[in-house]
A = this chain, B = another copy of it.
Amino acid sequence: MTYRAPLNDMLLALNHGAGLKAAVEAGHYGDFDPDITAAVLEEAGKFATDVLAPLNKVGDRNGVKLADKKVTTAPGWPDAYKRWTEAGWNAVSGPETHGGQGLPLAINAACTEIWSAANVAFGLCPLLTLSAIEALDAHGSQELKDIYLGKLISGEWTGTMQLTEPQAGSDVGALRTRAERAPDGSYRITGSKIFITYGDHDMTDNIVHFVLARLPDAPAGTKGISLFLIPKFLVNKDGSLGARNDIYPSGIEHKLGMHASPTCTMTMGDHGGAIGYLIGQENAGMRCMFTMMNQARLGVGLEGVGVADRAYQQALAYAQDRKQGRAVGSKGSGSDAIIAHPDVKRMLMQMRSLTAASRSICYATAVALDVAVRAKDPAVRAEAAARGALLTPIAKAFSTDIGNEVAYLGVQIHGGMGFIEETGAAQHYRDARITAIYEGTNGIQAIDLVTRKLGANGGASVFKLLDELTDIVRRVEASNDPAFGTTGAKLREALSALERSSRWLLEKLGTAPNDALAGATPYLRLFGSALGGCMLANEALAARSENETAGARHVALARFFAETFAVQAPSLEKTVTDGADAVLAAEAVLVA
């Protein structure tokens, strides 16, 4: 079962759910020509179907190998990566100053979904390179940019992000990797890192590592962390590759999923120290990391969307093909395809509508991040930046929760066959699992949402968004379209629940912060359900104004989401506002 990019859904989500069309019309996208969007996505879809999707299972089965301090990827992967760079896909949103196409993040977001759907383990590699590009572009010296940026943007070299150490996972400040100043202005890095994605591989002739380390005289915690660029091979003045640097993969992990993506333990300093170059200022490494965090988190959210869509497409095809039993009221003779059974319909509608909602949230985040740098008006930029910051943890956590839930349903629809690896449904389920963990666990996203994004400005970003969403609900109600069923009422109640729980959390942040933290995860779910529901309704309104048949489909999808997911908002509100005492009693409960 291959993958086909759902171009109509993607364009609807981009233009209407995420608001790209309105932002372009308002002039916030400068001279970007929105007419190219469809063409870019169509080409991306072709490349994904032809080159990446066929390697998804190959990569899962073969995994990666480490021998003689070198990682070998699965058969076909180096060639696919070569085609990837040659076709220019690595450079979609890279800066034009160094060979990138300078397209909006929103376009690249849709592409990232496509790569993730076709082959999430492959797509993860350029996602990390993109973070490296962002850090280097924002904080690197001109000299480093001139040497490395073009190669990273083209994809000729890939990038890694090296934060984690055994004692320093979510708590990055606890890291111990050591950097010493060298007389020539470079640094010598010693230490080791774990969980380094694509820490080594055989797809390019060089790899540019971005490593967090601590200077000998650095303050403790996150204020004493610096960011270094450490190339696998040093680069000569003429751009040719020089000596092998002292950074090596010393182990690879045997993982639940993402088998084709090497997860390396990296060792630096066995031969005198890896030569590294400072990015930004000494002890300001965390700031450099924060720069790229929004986009990296959005990228992982889009992995969730992509895997969900892949799982959905496979489950739909199976449900249309697999015959079993007779549905009530069936008019055919013999067995019906299982899609005729209401419970299977329900699962497929869950898969499709959850995927669509998370897609729209991710794309809206990308549009906000675009407008935050592209709009002319500083006030518009500031507001968009706040919106992007607010939406990022939701895009990451809600979408990856959904990636897992949808992949779960994908297995379920396959019945016993879903448990057999040959079928492929289980791979999506395994691959999706890490997306809820890396780039900040989803619990950390929820805490970020409550403490930094809701709490930062007294809830102003949230209440501004609520106004816009309420306007969508008004338009749903004003449509008087009975096909919307109880959509308007469900969304209105969801938004009320969101507003009330936001106010409750704001109050508790001041008076009883642990009560607020106890409700962070249900609050994020509530937020995503209300937001996603409104976005799908907005898309349905746009679709029905353009085309009756497509409109009816999207109205039914929005209605299903509202009546199945947005409807949970009032219950989630109660969990947020009533549930803290019992959560905080945990240590007493969880003995014996």
- Looking across the interface, which residue of chain B has its beta carbon closest to that of A564? B575
Point out the residue from B170, B171, B433, B587 that lies within 8 Å of A345, measured CB to CB: B587
A574 at the A/B interface (Cβ < 8 Å)? yes
Report the minimal beta-carbon distance from A242 to chain B, rounded to whole angstroms.
34
**Cβ B579 vs Cβ A563 within 8 A:** yes
- What is the CA–CA distance of A342 and B587 in the complex, to the nearest angstrom? 10
Q: Report how many copies the assembly holds.
A: 2
Point out the residue from B341, B430, B582, B589 that lies within 8 Å of A517, measured CB to CB: B341
**Cβ A563 vs Cβ B578 within 8 A:** yes
Mark A556-592 against chain B: 1 for CB-CB distance below 8 A, else 0: 1101100110011111001100111111111111111
**Cβ B443 vs Cβ A433 within 8 A:** no
- Looking across the interface, which residue of chain B has its beta carbon closest to that of A339? B587
**Cβ B518 vs Cβ A421 within 8 A:** no
Point out the residue from B195, B415, B490, B568 that lies within 8 Å of A169, measured CB to CB: B415
**Cβ A408 vs Cβ B404 within 8 A:** yes
**Cβ B412 vs Cβ A443 within 8 A:** yes
- What is the CA–CA distance of A419 and B250 in the complex, to the nearest angstrom? 19
Chain A, range 141-187, C-beta contacts under 8 Å to B: 164, 167, 169-171, 174
- What is the CA–CA distance of A255 and B426 in the complex, to the nearest angstrom? 9
- Of A329, A345, A434, A581, most B-chain CB atoms within 10 Å: A345
- Looking across the interface, which residue of chain B has its beta carbon closest to that of A427? B256
A429 at the A/B interface (Cβ < 8 Å)? yes
**Cβ A255 vs Cβ B412 within 8 A:** no
- What is the CA–CA distance of A258 and B418 in the complex, to the nearest angstrom? 13
A321 at the A/B interface (Cβ < 8 Å)? no
**Cβ A583 vs Cβ B255 within 8 A:** no
**Cβ B514 vs Cβ A342 within 8 A:** yes
10 nearest A-B pairs in the assembled complex, by CB-CB distance: A345-B586, A560-B582, A343-B443, A342-B517, A256-B426, A342-B518, A556-B585, A563-B579, A171-B325, A571-B571
Q: Which residues of A contact B (CB under 8 A)?
A: 6, 8, 164, 167, 169-171, 174, 195, 253-258, 316, 323-325, 327-329, 335, 339, 341-349, 352, 404, 408, 411-412, 415-416, 418-422, 426, 429-430, 433-434, 436-438, 441-444, 446-447, 485-486, 490, 513-514, 517-518, 520-522, 552-553, 556-557, 559-560, 563-564, 567-571, 574-575, 578-592
